[in-house]
Amino acid sequence: MKKIFTFCCIVISSCFTTSFAQVFNTQHDTAVATIVTSANVDNKITVLSTQSQPVKIKWTATNTNFPSDWLTSAALGLCDNNGCLNNGSNYLFNHVILSDFYSPGVAGDFHMVLNLSSATTLGTYYLTVNLRDEAGSQSKDIVFLITHNTTGISSVTMANEKQLFVSPNPAADHTQLYFNITKDQNIEVAISDALGKEVVHGNYTITSRNPTVNINTGSFATGIYYVKVKTENGILTERISIVK
């Protein structure tokens, strides 16, 4: 009886370990890009060298606030190591796509293609993609944080380190806080003016698939404001400029 009990414990423990085993890494949790016309935004996938066999990755777009003129088949595509698919008929959100095999220890292709030459909506928006290995051992959300400008040059900068982004900044009537997070959590947001007077204070829940907080700045006077966010990992700060 004791042997049976021990065997059951081992089996149960093994199941739980497998369910949460890390199989792959991504180049970054949040890929940050500024686009004038078009750009490829890389976020490569690397299967851990501890894996004895190549691994296929299932992925799908899960959440976005991209404007409609960014979501057309001519504007948006996602690519893995098996090829690229565009978002015609909202395809990227309605299907789970299976990659080719990623070899252990080798950074394999995964990137977003954006062609915003015909898009008229400007600003900063996000798109979340869920990645998971074919066996279901690991699931991870990555975020593409994209700013569309009409001037300057397109640039791609990845941001694993930075955890809080504010856009638009400068702002007029509204802005958004974007968080580079890997798990859902409760946060506390406080915004103060240059004299230290608190103008916003609230508690919010953010998720890896919707890592944003909308801030109404319509009542703010022109000037500099300071954002302070308490998270599970510590305190994040940023500065907002309000221009009316």
Q: Which domains does the chain have, with CATH numbers?
A: 22-158 (2.60.40.10), 164-242 (2.60.40.1220)
The reported pTM is: 0.74
Quick one: pLDDT at residue 32?
Answer: 86
Average pLDDT over residues 197-218: 92
Phi, psi of 9 (to 5 degrees): -60, -40
Say how far apart CA 203 and CA 232 lie, in whole Å: 13
pLDDT surpassing 60 at residue 243: yes
Quick one: pLDDT at residue 10?
Answer: 39
Contact 132, 61 (CB under 8 A): no
Quick one: pLDDT at residue 167?
Answer: 82
Query: What proportions of the chain, in percent to the nearest 5, are helix, strand and coil?
Result: 10, 50, 35
pLDDT surpassing 80 at residue 17: no
What percent of the chain shows pLDDT beyond 90? 66
pLDDT surpassing 60 at residue 1: no
